[in-house]
Chain A
Amino acid sequence: MSDAGKLRPTSDSDAPAPLEERFTAGDPAALREAFDRHGSVVYAIALRCLGAHHDAEDVAQQVFVRAWRGRATFDSRRGPLGAWLVGITRRQVSERLAGQLRDLRTADRAGHAAPPPDPAPVSEQVVDAVVVADELGRLSPQVRAVVRLAFFDDLTHQQIAAVTGLPLGTVKSHLRRGLDRLRRGWAG
């Protein structure tokens, strides 16, 4: 797209690069910042995959503990911190699911349980949907409001302009800008 460049958001809430540097350097405050910034994505993925709050909390804990202990190996050239944490989350969740399956099979062999389900892989769709939901929450309030009206209230851009009082051109550019940012959240 020849005009993709000019539509790229320049401000919004892009995480400042220094967090990743400070995290790798072992600045303890950076762990808290990473938890505040990415904790809900990690927790939400775990919760949607595992169902139980208790398991999701365990996974979130393990993800940040492992990330911190392995921070020397985080390489920002291979992707942002958030994506790295999501990768660790997927692995933790799939291990947890595999463990549950093993438990079920053991119980099954003992004759106590229904046949276990197949292990559910960590679904791409679950992960992507969480990432998109996270990005949606990070849009500037006006862009987010416009996008929400289009997504969840099924309004056309003309209706959105009428409802919000924003000029039609502004609505269209907000839609473009918001959607572009959400797309980059899951599609890179």
Chain B
Amino acid sequence: MRNPLLAVGVLVAGGGLVGCSAPTVAPPAASGAPLAGSWLAQVVEHPETFAALTGGPDRPGWIALHGNDLAGAADAFAVAGLNAGPNARVGRARALLDLSQLYLDLARSGDQAWLTTFATWSERSTIPAGSALTYVAGLAARDQGDAEVSSAWFKLSETARDPAVAQASAALVQTSPGAPVTGDELPALLVRHNAHVAARDSGVIDGLLAEAALPLVQEDELRSDGTTLHREFYDPEILRTLSVAYWKQAQEVMGGGHPLQALITLPDGADPMAALLFGPVLHAEEWSSEVSRHTETPGMLGASSAALAALGLDTELPPTDEPDWARDQVHRLDAVLDAWETQVRASASPDGLALLDDLRLVDVLRSRLLLALARNAIGSHHPWQAKTFAQLALDAENSRAITPVNHPALQAILIEAQLQTGHTREALDCIQPMLAAYPAATGLDEVLGDLAILQGLDRYGDSKEN
């Protein structure tokens, strides 16, 4: 029997598909035993069960999820609408939770980027008089819950050239965080702000998503040399709004309860593998213990999974942020994966091996585990280790593309880690591959560009050949 998903690898990876290379010799201590019974082992040892899950009408959703096309997966699983089967609901919820987590990763970078940029700008240069920049800075501070800084920026906006900016600033100072601004004939800025409040409440984001890559404010400024400078400032609220809204959507898909809890109990008739396939959690039991630690938001889901411990990896970080520690962890993981792969290649059926190679399943699992470790490190304020994990997770041959191995959140974690280690220009390299699929990151790209420029103002730019 040939599995209906066998062609998926070719489909998603195009001509660049590379089968797994022959494993190198693993250290004697490494054993593939922790992977026994995992989703990976089940797929290879029982390809028919994989076919049963992914070969039906939900197939486009699974193809998209495998390719890390998160929005595509969420849409594809939703095609059946209210009549979707339990597996499609699980798949859609997983895609939505992944999106929520991705935007939360990006929002954390946004928090740092916006305020660092505006603070550096005011320290190193002169904030353009009358610009709406101060309003956007106030909005950024408010979105991360810093009322004092937010009020200070909004205060500066009272002298904005555009009266609507001054009006919006004054209104937001008077309004509690998370509440809409009330009143008639609100200026467009406040209508937009209220749209964020509504989206975070309802999960409905269509209008915001359509404008996510567009500037929030555009203004023309007459310069002293007689030229006009066109300025654009992007919406600092969009990333967190999308994170919250996708969480709400996942909640709705799973029947209104807690979406993560619902993934443990599973809807009636759902295949347990639907909750695990292509993910960082190896076994259903680990999934439940994992979820119990993360009940409010997706946050660091997967980062401290029991799976990591079972694989011989340390879930407690050392006190210092040494990249070599992270490299050693990756070597340990590779040894386990190599040992398992050597073993399975001697015993698996041709169909199982074809799935293993065509879908690059070992690389997919490795990447998702390293993403979890990277999240753990960044959440523990160890950006060098986070950077190391994320960089080693990426498929170097296609590092500019989102692929089955290159989850978009790897780039999001790298953005944050680069920013925290002073490598702002490198953070821009990490955003670039995301912009086509995640245009809401455009504002982050622009503001980080401003920050990179500000940080280099006093430098002599060096260049060399080759």
Do A and B make up one complex?
A: no
